Amino acid sequence: MTMTAERQKPVSDEDLVRGVRAGDRALLARAITLIESTRAEHRARAERLLETLLPATGGAHRIGITGVPGVGKSTAIDQLGVNLTAQGHKVAVLAVDPTSSRSGGSILGDKTRMARLGQDPAAFIRPSPTSGTLGGVAQRTRETIALVEAAGFDIVIVETVGVGQSETTVSEMVDVFVVLMLPGAGDELQGIKKGVLEIADIIAINKADGDNRDRASRAAAEYRSALSILTPVHPAWKPPVTLVSGLANQGLDELWRLICEHRRVMSEADAFAARRREQAAGWLHDLIDDGLRAAVTGRPAVRALLERLEGAVRAGRRTPQSAAAEVLAFAGLAVNMPATGTTS
């Protein structure tokens, strides 16, 4: 069932650009497949494509949504997306899941997870690039955001599951970061993942319906109390806690209102565009760091040396300094190690 660029008729760069700009879903999908490819000639084409489309990007409201498995992310995003397309929006849903083993073309899983949005002609759902480093998955997702923006989608939802650093990574590519939480109180609140409260712009307690309503309200009060002693992401915006039910379609209009209110407040504080500029600069530095690191990890002989020396450092037989110097020298990068301090 997978449809990939390789098995299809070749398409010229010009046709790909025109197709994406016209919102042609088949060509958009092929463009995304192209940027997900690791082949060198595909990467070169992908970079040209992104450079050409650059002036057409940036038009979407970029929304990150996270939550642990079982919190009801798919149901909530499905319902929120359907509500938004009903209002005339074009909604793209992307995913960042570095543990994903789904193939790049198999989007049936996601279409099934979001049954109504998957059938919605105003929506476009794309699963996570397949397993790889979080940095690599994130890079592809940032590029895919640019593509769907060039294709005219005005809302991009980037979904992530709470694995490793994936929430922080996603929060650094979106305008607003929404954390879905389970209703519960007291002990049930324990074990919130490190740092997630601190990067949340909005917290939504999901499944706040029926018998859960009271527990969800108590949970909201506890989260508000915890948030009150943390520095917010931006001084102009105090992260609100709201109740939603994806299943019952309750509270999602209020959640959307808060997302738009966040944009208004941040724009008035000159912080909306500034966040995007910082993100772009941070992305540039990440790419340079990744490229530099590939000088080590991309070469099997260097990687083997690093693994051997790391074992010696862990065992206390080598200093990190001498091991690092040996790895860099072997990689042909015996640059002067940076240092501070002075003997004036």
Shortest Å distance, C-beta 191 to its own copies: 5
- 325 sits near its own copies (criterion: CB under 8 A): yes
Q: Are 144 and 30 in contact (CB under 8 A)?
A: no
Sequence-ordered list of residues with C-beta below 8 angstroms from that of 301, at least 6 positions apart, any chain:
330
- 171 sits near its own copies (criterion: CB under 8 A): no
- 222 sits near its own copies (criterion: CB under 8 A): yes
- 339 sits near its own copies (criterion: CB under 8 A): yes
Shortest Å distance, C-beta 313 to its own copies: 5
Using the minimum distance from each CB to its own copies, give the nearer residue, 106 or 119. 106
Q: Looking at residues 30 to 49 of the shown chain, list those that interact with its own copies (rule: CB under 8 A).
A: 33-40, 42-43, 47
- 192 sits near its own copies (criterion: CB under 8 A): yes
Sequence-ordered list of residues with C-beta below 8 angstroms from that of 48, at least 6 positions apart, any chain:
13
Q: Looking at residues 56 to 95 of the shown chain, list those that interact with its own copies (rule: CB under 8 A).
A: 58
| CA–CA separation, 298 and 330 (whole Å) | 13
Q: Looking at residues 263 to 322 of the shown chain, list those that interact with its own copies (rule: CB under 8 A).
A: 277, 280-281, 283-284, 287-298, 306, 309-310, 313-322
Q: How many CA atoms lie within 13 A of 95 on its CB side?
A: 28
| CA–CA separation, 27 and 8 (whole Å) | 11
Shortest Å distance, C-beta 257 to its own copies: 26
Shortest Å distance, C-beta 40 to its own copies: 6
Closest C-alpha among 258, 140, 250 to residue 202: 258
Residue with tokens 């940076």: 338
- 99 sits near its own copies (criterion: CB under 8 A): no
The number of residues that bind its own copies (CB under 8 A) is 96
| CA–CA separation, 45 and 48 (whole Å) | 5
The amino acid at residue 154 is D
Using the minimum distance from each CB to its own copies, give the nearer residue, 42 or 263. 42
The amino acid at residue 323 is A
